[in-house]
Structure 1
Amino acid sequence: MAQVLPADCRVEEEWSTALLDCFEDSATCCYGFWCGPCLSCTVSGRMKECYCLPLCDYCNPAILASCCVGVPICIPPAAFGLRVALRNRYKIKGSLLNDICVSWCCAPCSWCQMHRELKLRNMKPNVINIQNVVNMQPAPVMHQAVPMGMGPMGPMPMGPI
Protein backbone atom coordinates (compact mmCIF):
# COMPACT_ATOMS: atom_id res chain seq x y z
CA MET A 1 0.00 0.00 0.00
CA ALA A 2 1.45 3.37 -1.04
CA GLN A 3 1.77 6.10 1.54
CA VAL A 4 0.47 9.53 0.60
CA LEU A 5 2.28 12.51 2.12
CA PRO A 6 0.55 15.85 2.68
CA ALA A 7 1.32 18.59 0.16
CA ASP A 8 3.03 20.78 2.74
CA CYS A 9 5.37 17.97 3.84
CA ARG A 10 8.89 18.99 2.93
CA VAL A 11 12.32 17.57 3.42
CA GLU A 12 14.49 20.05 5.26
CA GLU A 13 18.22 20.33 4.77
CA GLU A 14 21.02 21.84 6.82
CA TRP A 15 22.92 24.99 5.90
CA SER A 16 25.74 24.15 3.48
CA THR A 17 28.24 25.87 5.78
CA ALA A 18 28.10 26.77 9.45
CA LEU A 19 27.70 30.34 10.65
CA LEU A 20 31.38 30.75 11.54
CA ASP A 21 32.86 28.79 8.61
CA CYS A 22 34.81 31.77 7.31
CA PHE A 23 37.65 29.64 6.03
CA GLU A 24 35.34 27.58 3.82
CA ASP A 25 35.24 30.54 1.45
CA SER A 26 37.88 33.11 2.33
CA ALA A 27 36.89 35.36 -0.58
CA THR A 28 33.40 35.80 0.86
CA CYS A 29 34.85 36.42 4.31
CA CYS A 30 37.19 39.12 3.01
CA TYR A 31 34.37 40.66 0.98
CA GLY A 32 32.16 40.79 4.09
CA PHE A 33 34.94 42.13 6.31
CA TRP A 34 36.19 44.88 4.02
CA CYS A 35 32.87 45.86 2.47
CA GLY A 36 29.95 44.46 4.47
CA PRO A 37 27.31 46.70 2.87
CA CYS A 38 28.43 45.60 -0.61
CA LEU A 39 28.22 41.92 0.38
CA SER A 40 24.74 42.35 1.83
CA CYS A 41 23.56 44.20 -1.29
CA THR A 42 24.98 41.35 -3.43
CA VAL A 43 23.04 38.79 -1.37
CA SER A 44 19.87 40.84 -1.72
CA GLY A 45 20.31 41.08 -5.49
CA ARG A 46 20.95 37.35 -5.86
CA MET A 47 17.72 36.71 -4.00
CA LYS A 48 15.89 38.86 -6.58
CA GLU A 49 15.20 41.61 -4.05
CA CYS A 50 16.07 45.29 -4.27
CA TYR A 51 19.84 45.71 -4.13
CA CYS A 52 19.48 48.66 -1.75
CA LEU A 53 17.30 46.81 0.78
CA PRO A 54 20.17 45.97 3.19
CA LEU A 55 21.17 49.62 3.34
CA CYS A 56 18.18 50.05 5.67
CA ASP A 57 20.19 48.08 8.22
CA TYR A 58 23.22 50.31 7.86
CA CYS A 59 21.28 53.59 7.90
CA ASN A 60 19.06 52.73 10.88
CA PRO A 61 19.93 55.08 13.80
CA ALA A 62 19.28 52.36 16.40
CA ILE A 63 21.68 50.01 14.66
CA LEU A 64 24.29 52.75 14.25
CA ALA A 65 24.01 53.50 17.98
CA SER A 66 24.53 49.82 18.76
CA CYS A 67 27.84 49.96 16.86
CA CYS A 68 29.03 52.67 19.25
CA VAL A 69 27.79 50.86 22.35
CA GLY A 70 28.97 47.44 21.19
CA VAL A 71 25.71 45.69 22.10
CA PRO A 72 23.01 45.39 19.43
CA ILE A 73 19.93 47.40 20.38
CA CYS A 74 17.59 46.03 17.71
CA ILE A 75 17.40 43.31 15.10
CA PRO A 76 18.55 44.39 11.63
CA PRO A 77 15.33 43.98 9.60
CA ALA A 78 16.90 43.26 6.21
CA ALA A 79 19.36 40.69 7.58
CA PHE A 80 16.56 38.96 9.46
CA GLY A 81 14.04 39.09 6.61
CA LEU A 82 16.41 37.85 3.92
CA ARG A 83 17.71 35.09 6.20
CA VAL A 84 14.16 33.82 6.76
CA ALA A 85 13.38 34.10 3.03
CA LEU A 86 16.53 32.20 2.04
CA ARG A 87 15.85 29.50 4.63
CA ASN A 88 12.29 29.06 3.36
CA ARG A 89 13.27 29.10 -0.32
CA TYR A 90 15.82 26.31 0.08
CA LYS A 91 13.95 24.47 2.85
CA ILE A 92 16.78 24.82 5.36
CA LYS A 93 16.19 23.63 8.91
CA GLY A 94 15.86 26.33 11.50
CA SER A 95 13.43 28.51 13.37
CA LEU A 96 12.48 32.15 13.53
CA LEU A 97 14.01 32.36 17.00
CA ASN A 98 17.32 31.10 15.64
CA ASP A 99 17.15 33.61 12.76
CA ILE A 100 16.45 36.42 15.25
CA CYS A 101 19.40 35.43 17.43
CA VAL A 102 21.82 35.11 14.51
CA SER A 103 20.68 38.40 12.92
CA TRP A 104 20.83 40.21 16.24
CA CYS A 105 24.13 38.86 17.57
CA CYS A 106 26.20 38.47 14.43
CA ALA A 107 24.67 40.06 11.34
CA PRO A 108 28.00 40.16 9.40
CA CYS A 109 28.48 36.41 9.90
CA SER A 110 24.87 35.88 8.85
CA TRP A 111 25.42 37.83 5.62
CA CYS A 112 28.56 35.78 4.89
CA GLN A 113 26.71 32.52 5.52
CA MET A 114 23.86 33.56 3.23
CA HIS A 115 26.35 34.55 0.52
CA ARG A 116 28.14 31.19 0.76
CA GLU A 117 24.80 29.37 0.64
CA LEU A 118 23.72 31.21 -2.51
CA LYS A 119 27.09 30.58 -4.16
CA LEU A 120 26.91 26.86 -3.44
CA ARG A 121 23.24 26.49 -4.40
CA ASN A 122 23.51 28.47 -7.62
CA MET A 123 26.54 26.62 -8.92
CA LYS A 124 25.48 24.82 -12.03
CA PRO A 125 27.65 22.30 -13.77
CA ASN A 126 29.23 23.57 -16.93
CA VAL A 127 28.17 21.39 -19.81
CA ILE A 128 30.60 21.53 -22.65
CA ASN A 129 29.39 20.10 -25.92
CA ILE A 130 32.32 19.40 -28.18
CA GLN A 131 31.54 18.53 -31.76
CA ASN A 132 33.98 17.63 -34.45
CA VAL A 133 33.53 20.30 -37.03
CA VAL A 134 35.10 19.58 -40.37
CA ASN A 135 35.20 22.51 -42.71
CA MET A 136 35.03 21.00 -46.18
CA GLN A 137 35.77 23.27 -49.07
CA PRO A 138 35.03 22.26 -52.62
CA ALA A 139 38.01 21.08 -54.63
CA PRO A 140 39.52 23.84 -56.70
CA VAL A 141 38.25 23.85 -60.25
CA MET A 142 41.06 23.69 -62.74
CA HIS A 143 40.53 25.72 -65.87
CA GLN A 144 42.46 24.75 -68.92
CA ALA A 145 44.43 27.56 -70.27
CA VAL A 146 43.22 28.36 -73.75
CA PRO A 147 46.03 29.55 -76.03
CA MET A 148 45.49 32.87 -77.71
CA GLY A 149 43.67 32.53 -80.92
CA MET A 150 42.02 29.26 -79.93
CA GLY A 151 38.32 29.16 -79.32
CA PRO A 152 36.25 26.37 -77.90
CA MET A 153 35.56 25.03 -81.41
CA GLY A 154 39.06 25.22 -82.69
CA PRO A 155 41.27 27.94 -84.19
CA MET A 156 39.70 31.35 -84.51
CA PRO A 157 40.28 33.51 -87.51
CA MET A 158 42.64 36.33 -86.72
CA GLY A 159 41.78 38.89 -89.27
CA PRO A 160 38.74 40.32 -91.01
CA ILE A 161 36.64 37.85 -92.81
Structure 2
Amino acid sequence: MTSKMVIRQPQPVMDAQGSDRWGSGICDCCQDIPECCFAFWCCPCFACITTKRYGQCVCLPLLDIFGIIPPINMSMRVSMRQRYGIKDTMCRDCLYATCCASCSWCQMSREMSERKIPIVLISAKNT
Protein backbone atom coordinates (compact mmCIF):
# COMPACT_ATOMS: atom_id res chain seq x y z
CA MET A 1 0.00 0.00 0.00
CA THR A 2 1.42 3.40 -0.94
CA SER A 3 0.60 6.63 0.70
CA LYS A 4 0.24 9.86 -1.16
CA MET A 5 1.14 13.12 0.51
CA VAL A 6 -0.59 16.23 -0.73
CA ILE A 7 0.73 19.57 0.43
CA ARG A 8 -1.27 22.70 -0.24
CA GLN A 9 -0.18 26.10 0.92
CA PRO A 10 -2.96 28.23 2.38
CA GLN A 11 -3.83 31.17 0.15
CA PRO A 12 -4.62 34.58 1.63
CA VAL A 13 -8.23 35.55 1.18
CA MET A 14 -9.50 39.06 1.60
CA ASP A 15 -13.06 39.62 2.64
CA ALA A 16 -14.13 43.01 1.33
CA GLN A 17 -15.62 44.86 4.26
CA GLY A 18 -16.94 48.23 3.35
CA SER A 19 -17.43 50.25 0.23
CA ASP A 20 -16.26 49.41 -3.26
CA ARG A 21 -15.14 53.02 -3.73
CA TRP A 22 -12.16 55.02 -2.51
CA GLY A 23 -12.83 56.41 0.96
CA SER A 24 -11.70 59.86 -0.17
CA GLY A 25 -11.24 61.66 -3.45
CA ILE A 26 -7.90 62.29 -5.10
CA CYS A 27 -7.95 65.96 -4.03
CA ASP A 28 -9.37 65.54 -0.50
CA CYS A 29 -6.21 66.85 1.12
CA CYS A 30 -8.17 68.77 3.77
CA GLN A 31 -8.93 65.48 5.51
CA ASP A 32 -5.32 65.30 6.71
CA ILE A 33 -3.46 68.56 6.09
CA PRO A 34 -0.13 67.63 7.78
CA GLU A 35 0.05 64.42 5.77
CA CYS A 36 -0.76 66.30 2.56
CA CYS A 37 1.92 68.92 3.24
CA PHE A 38 4.48 66.18 3.93
CA ALA A 39 3.56 64.45 0.65
CA PHE A 40 3.75 67.71 -1.29
CA TRP A 41 7.09 68.90 0.11
CA CYS A 42 8.83 65.53 0.34
CA CYS A 43 6.94 63.09 -1.87
CA PRO A 44 9.77 60.47 -2.09
CA CYS A 45 9.97 60.20 1.72
CA PHE A 46 6.19 60.08 2.07
CA ALA A 47 5.91 57.43 -0.67
CA CYS A 48 8.55 55.26 1.03
CA ILE A 49 6.76 55.49 4.40
CA THR A 50 3.38 54.70 2.81
CA THR A 51 4.86 51.74 0.94
CA LYS A 52 6.35 50.39 4.16
CA ARG A 53 2.98 50.73 5.94
CA TYR A 54 1.42 48.79 3.06
CA GLY A 55 3.87 45.95 3.69
CA GLN A 56 6.25 46.39 0.76
CA CYS A 57 9.93 47.27 0.44
CA VAL A 58 10.59 50.76 1.79
CA CYS A 59 12.81 51.80 -1.16
CA LEU A 60 10.43 50.62 -3.88
CA PRO A 61 8.96 54.08 -4.70
CA LEU A 62 12.42 55.41 -5.53
CA LEU A 63 12.15 53.45 -8.79
CA ASP A 64 9.42 55.89 -9.91
CA ILE A 65 12.13 58.45 -10.67
CA PHE A 66 13.21 56.54 -13.79
CA GLY A 67 10.07 56.59 -15.92
CA ILE A 68 7.38 58.68 -17.53
CA ILE A 69 4.60 56.71 -15.84
CA PRO A 70 5.57 55.98 -12.24
CA PRO A 71 5.31 52.18 -12.14
CA ILE A 72 5.38 51.80 -8.36
CA ASN A 73 2.69 54.41 -7.70
CA MET A 74 0.45 52.83 -10.32
CA SER A 75 1.06 49.25 -9.13
CA MET A 76 0.39 50.23 -5.52
CA ARG A 77 -2.91 51.80 -6.57
CA VAL A 78 -3.90 48.67 -8.50
CA SER A 79 -2.81 46.42 -5.61
CA MET A 80 -4.72 48.52 -3.11
CA ARG A 81 -7.85 48.43 -5.26
CA GLN A 82 -7.55 44.64 -5.44
CA ARG A 83 -6.94 44.26 -1.69
CA TYR A 84 -9.81 46.50 -0.62
CA GLY A 85 -12.22 45.63 -3.45
CA ILE A 86 -12.30 49.17 -4.87
CA LYS A 87 -13.81 49.46 -8.33
CA ASP A 88 -11.88 51.82 -10.57
CA THR A 89 -9.91 51.64 -13.82
CA MET A 90 -6.24 51.19 -14.61
CA CYS A 91 -6.55 54.17 -16.94
CA ARG A 92 -7.49 56.39 -13.99
CA ASP A 93 -4.71 54.83 -11.88
CA CYS A 94 -2.25 55.68 -14.65
CA LEU A 95 -3.56 59.24 -14.91
CA TYR A 96 -3.36 59.87 -11.16
CA ALA A 97 0.06 58.24 -10.82
CA THR A 98 1.44 60.35 -13.67
CA CYS A 99 -0.20 63.73 -13.10
CA CYS A 100 -0.96 63.79 -9.38
CA ALA A 101 1.71 61.65 -7.70
CA SER A 102 1.65 63.28 -4.26
CA CYS A 103 -2.18 63.38 -4.24
CA SER A 104 -2.25 59.72 -5.25
CA TRP A 105 0.10 58.74 -2.39
CA CYS A 106 -2.00 60.78 0.05
CA GLN A 107 -5.20 59.08 -1.11
CA MET A 108 -3.64 55.64 -0.65
CA SER A 109 -2.38 56.56 2.82
CA ARG A 110 -5.82 57.83 3.85
CA GLU A 111 -7.39 54.63 2.52
CA MET A 112 -5.08 52.43 4.60
CA SER A 113 -5.77 54.52 7.71
CA GLU A 114 -9.52 54.42 7.15
CA ARG A 115 -9.93 50.73 6.33
CA LYS A 116 -7.45 49.14 8.75
CA ILE A 117 -8.27 45.69 7.36
CA PRO A 118 -5.71 43.10 8.42
CA ILE A 119 -4.81 40.28 6.08
CA VAL A 120 -6.29 37.11 7.54
CA LEU A 121 -5.60 33.57 6.39
CA ILE A 122 -8.87 31.69 6.13
CA SER A 123 -9.03 27.90 6.22
CA ALA A 124 -5.35 27.43 6.96
CA LYS A 125 -5.25 23.95 8.46
CA ASN A 126 -2.90 21.02 8.55
CA THR A 127 -3.96 17.99 6.56
- TM-score band, normalised by shorter chain: 0.7 to 0.9
Find the partner of 2:41 among 29, 34, 38.
34
CA–CA separation in structure 1 for the residues paired with 2:117 and 2:38: 19
Query: For the pair shown, which has the larger CA radius of gyration, 1 or 2?
Result: 1
CA–CA separation in structure 2 for the residues paired with 1:36 and 1:122: 23
Greater relative CO (CA pairs within 8 A, separation 6+)? 2
Q: Which runs of 5+ in 2 are unaligned?
A: 1-15, 119-127
**3-state DSSP of counterpart to 1:40:** helix
Structure 1 residue 34: deviation in Å? Answer: 2.0
- Residue 107 of structure 2 corresponds to residue 110 of structure 1: no
The runs of at least 4 aligned residues of structure 1 exceeding 6 Å deviation read none
Aligned residue in 2 for 1:93: 87
Superposition TM-score, scaled by structure 1 size: 0.58
- Residue 51 of structure 2 corresponds to residue 44 of structure 1: yes
Aligned residue in 1 for 2:6: none
**3-state DSSP of counterpart to 1:114:** helix
- Residue 19 of structure 2 corresponds to residue 25 of structure 1: no
- Residue 62 of structure 2 corresponds to residue 55 of structure 1: yes
Query: 1:28·1:116 contact (CA, 8 Å) conserved in 2?
Result: no
* Higher percent of residues as helix: 2
Q: Which runs of 5+ in 1 are unaligned?
A: 1-9, 63-73, 125-161
The count of corresponding residues between Structure 1 and Structure 2 is: 102
Question: Taking structure 1 as reference, are residues 107 and 26 closer, same or farther at Cα in structure 2, changes over 3 Å only?
Answer: same
Superposition TM-score, scaled by structure 2 size: 0.73
Structure 1 residue 16: deviation in Å? Answer: 0.6
Identity of aligned residues (%): 41
Structure 1 residue 28: deviation in Å? Answer: 1.3
**3-state DSSP of counterpart to 2:60:** coil
Amino acid in structure 1 at the alignment position of 2:21: E
